[in-house]
Amino acid sequence: MTLLNDPRTRRSRLGVAAAAAGLLAALLTAGPATATPDPGDAPTATQKVSEGARAEVRDAIADGEIPGQDEIVHSDNIEHLANIPKDALPGTNSDLAFQGKYAFAGNYDGFRVFDLSNPRAPKTVAQVLCPGSQNDISVSGDLLFLSTDSSRSDDSCQSTTQPATEKSSWEGMKVFDISDKRNPKYVAAVETACGSHTHTLVPERRNVYIYVSSYSPSATYPDCQPPHDGISVIKVPRHAPEKAALVGFPVLFPGEGPDGGGNPGGPTNPGVSKTTGCHDITVLPSEDLAAGACMGDGLLFSLKDPEHPKVIDRVQDNVNFSFWHSATFNQTADKVVFTDELGGGGAATCNATVGPNRGADGIYDIVGKGDRRELVFRGYFKIPRHQADTENCVAHNGSLIPVKGKDLMVQAWYQGGISVWDFTHSSRPKEIAYFERGPLSTETMVTGGSWSAYYYNGYIYSNDITKGFDVLKLSDRRTDPAKRVRVDELNVQTQPDYFD
Length of the chain measured in residues: 500
Q: Residue 201: count other Cβ atoms within 10 Å of its Cβ.
A: 23
- Output the pTM of the full model: 0.94
String of DSSP letters for 397-442:
BEEEE--TT--EEEEE-BTT-EEEEE-SSTTS-EEEEEEEE--S-S
Residues pairing with 47 in the sheet: 445
Q: In which band, very low, low, confident or very high, does the pLDDT at 365 lie, cut at 50, 70 and 90?
A: very high
d(CA 437, CA 415) in angstroms, rounded, equals 7
160/216 Cα distance (integer angstroms): 21
pLDDT number for residue 364? 98
383-429 pLDDT per residue, tens:
999 999 999 999 999 999 999 999 999 999 999 999 999 999 999 99
In tens, the pLDDT along 177-217 reads: 999 999 999 999 999 999 999 999 999 999 999 999 999 99
φ, ψ of residue 368 to 5 degrees: the values are 95, -175
Q: Distance between CA atoms of 311 and 371, rounded to whole angstroms?
A: 9
pLDDT for 31 beyond 80: no
In angstroms, the CA 449 to CA 440 distance is: 9
pLDDT digits (tens, 9 = 90+) for 80-135: 999 999 999 999 999 999 999 999 999 999 999 999 999 999 999 999 999 999 99
Q: What mean pLDDT do residues 335-352 have?
A: 96
Confidence of residue 4 (pLDDT cuts 50, 70, 90): very low
Domains and CATH numbers, the chain: 7-490 (2.130.10.10)
**pLDDT tops 60 at residue 32:** no
